[in-house]
Amino acid sequence: MLKLYQFPISHYCEKARWALELKELPYRKVNLLPGPHAKTAKKVAGNSRLPILQHDKRTVQGSAEIITYLDKNFSRRSLTPEDPVEQNLAEAWESYADREIGPQVRLLSYNTLLDHRDIIIPMMTQDCPWYSGIMMKASYPKVSVAMRNLMKINDQSVEQARQQLSVALDNIAETLGDREFLVGDTFTRADLSVAALLAPLIMPQGYGVDWPEKMPQPLAGQIDNFQDRLGWVGHIYDHFR
């Protein structure tokens, strides 16, 4: 039995969902509420970060570790290239995306969405127990301040995230050129990671959260400026998710 402790809204959790679903592995989602998640996650895995995968008696924390674990234990539709050079390259792209794309997309998104509780609370509480919305509404003023502090969201960090993302998108476009995949000639964990971590900017079907009809400003404007370099993410979602 595979069990994924996760946030539906989280793009790191999306990496794990995508890998599980691509391999057609039946699994159970345990959706946690930001805040109270910490107690459960620490009990299961030692620290509060999601995603966490449980398989029989084994616990794996972290999206990259989960993909590695799944490829080792369920070889169907491997995401890690066999060739050692390509393997290193795919893992390097994944770790680049985990560092240079994931936190930046999250910071830009929450900078806007935390000011829109009507949008963010349903996304945070999706598929959680029925009372979660009530709990989240009551604790939202504290939760939103805590999240801004935790992610160090301010004008300077927003501008820095925007610039870092722009550099990452240029690197991706340059690496891809006319090719479909970042590494070799098949879909790998490199493509999955980069696309999943950029996904909130294109709100694709299949991600695992109900997106709002449109993103509010200033996020919508920031996304517009990246639009010319996001076509590949949509292509990867259309064909591999």
Binding residues for ligand GSH, rule: CB under 6 A, are: 7, 10, 12, 38, 48-51, 62-64, 98, 106
Across the strands, what pairs with 28? 3
- Residue 172 vs 197, nearer CB to ligand GSH: 197
Beta bridge partners of 3: 28, 54
What is the closest distance, in whole angstroms, from the C-beta atom of residue 34 to ligand GSH in the complex? 7
Contact predicate 49/61, CB 8 Å: yes
Cβ neighbour number for residue 101 with a 10 Å cutoff: 25
Smaller CB separation from ligand GSH, 64 or 169: 64
The nearer residue to ligand GSH, 149 or 225, going by C-beta atoms, is 149
How many angstroms separate the CA atoms of 125 and 200, rounded? Answer: 17
Sign for the CA dihedral angle at 168, 170, 171, 173 comes to: positive
Residue 58 CB, nearest distance to ligand GSH (Å)? Answer: 16
Closest contact distance (angstroms) between CB of 238 and ligand GSH is: 24
Residues 6 or more apart whose CB falls under 8 angstroms from that of 78 comprise: 71
Nearer to ligand GSH, 39 or 137 (CB): 39
CB of 113 to ligand GSH, least distance (A): 13
Residue at 233: amino acid letter: V
